[in-house]
Amino acid sequence: MYGGEAEDLYKILGVPRDASAADIKKAYRQLVRKYHPDANPGNRDAEEHFKKINQAYEVLGDPGKRNQYDQFGTVGDMGGGSPFEGFGGMGDIFGDIFDSVFGGAGRRRSSPDAPRRGTDLEMRVEVTLLEAATGAVKEFMIPRLESCPVCSGTGAKPGTTPETCSRCGGRGQVESRQQTPFGRFVSVNPCPSCNGTGKIIQEKCAECGGQGRVRAQHKVEVKIPPGVDTGTRLRISGEGEPGANGGQAGDLYLVVNVLEHKDFKREGGDLHTRLSVSFPQAALGCTLEVPTLYGGKESLDIPAGTQPGKVFTIRGEGVPRLRGPRGKGDLFVHVTVEVPEKLTDRQRALLEELAREMKVEVEDSGVFGKFFRNLFEG
């Protein structure tokens, strides 16, 4: 149509030359529905004919262009040809180059009715240290866009249906062409009439305002694996926003924040805790029960002469590792020695006797506590 002998636009639309504007529009709509690429997937002949139908209506649907076509048999760039036409098809070669550089990618864009993947979502989730160590099942309500329940996602008022955009023929794109000495310059842009959707909604749905989707609260149940840490990113497949036109849903990403624990501090897969022992226990030795994160207790032998700040290790009572070596980390127990703030006369007398035995100078009144704090606290 744009090179060589031009086809009769009236024949393309199947209407006589004296057809009214209404008859031309009616014929155009019928042909668009019949030859639309979505109704003929993979049919190149139907696709080419669909292009011709739109090109024909672009002229015959415009009174000014139709009048020019009836008088001269061409409009604008339809039959002007190229200065290279007499040189073995050089006009087509240059035209193809410019189409490829400036317009080819645009024409290969997907149809507005093609399936489109939904948007990914991200939210933060807080878990306790115990939940991070053992794993947990959490339920969340996430705000996301979902298909409008009133119009079933069409965007049109119930009882009505969107119409195919007459300007772009449902493609959602329009081409503008300009003839140059080097061939045809083609640019492809979203259709301004339908905003690239390929559809025109005459009566919009009151619930969604013609968007076809509304924001709603969606309930999600998530399994938190053992070993997560602050900053861990979990992907929940298919729980993002729904896709358009039957497209795949997006994913939901959860960013974990592990809350602090009053008794345990975490470093990777290891846990740290403090254990208070009395001066006699540290000096003479003893066996104590150490609480673990998991609710149990582990026996720990405190040898005689244990110093403040001594660290003991309980193997396998840490947190599972998500990466690296398998298994749990360890629990490190940091010993602190308690100094009594109040003493009975008997206790004071015994400690003063111990101080004399150790040849340590102490005051007789009150400063004993301060002395032992400096001596035994780590």
Per-residue pLDDT tens over the stretch 274-292: 999 999 999 999 999 999 9
161 found inside a domain = no
158 found inside a domain = no
2 found inside a domain = no
Mean pLDDT of 131-158: 90
203 found inside a domain = no
pLDDT at 116: 80
Instruction: Give every CB contact of residue 363 below 8 A, 6+ residues apart in sequence.
Output: none
200 found inside a domain = no
CA 285/CA 274 separation, integer angstroms: 17
**pLDDT (tens digit, 9 = 90+) per residue, 215-251?**
889 899 999 999 999 999 999 999 988 887 778 889 9
CATH number (domain holding residue 36): 1.10.287.110
Q: By three-state DSSP, how is residue 180 classified?
A: strand
| Same structural domain, 232 and 134 | yes
Number of domains in the chain: 3
Judged against a pLDDT cut of 70, whether residue 5 lies above it is answered with: no
Cα diameter, the chain: 128
**pLDDT (tens digit, 9 = 90+) per residue, 148-197?**
899 988 889 999 989 999 888 888 888 877 776 666 677 788 888 887 88
Using pLDDT thresholds of 50, 70 and 90, give the confidence band for residue 70. Answer: confident
Tell which wins on pLDDT, 148 or 374: 148
pTM above 0.75, yes or no: no
| Same structural domain, 25 and 133 | no
Using pLDDT thresholds of 50, 70 and 90, give the confidence band for residue 6. Answer: low
pLDDT at 183: 67
Judged against a pLDDT cut of 70, whether residue 378 lies above it is answered with: no
CA 56/CA 74 separation, integer angstroms: 11
Using pLDDT thresholds of 50, 70 and 90, give the confidence band for residue 106. Answer: very low
Q: By three-state DSSP, how is residue 250 classified?
A: coil
Euclidean distance between the first and the last CA atom of the chain, given in angstroms as a whole number: 92
- 227 is in which domain, residue-wise? 121-151+208-258
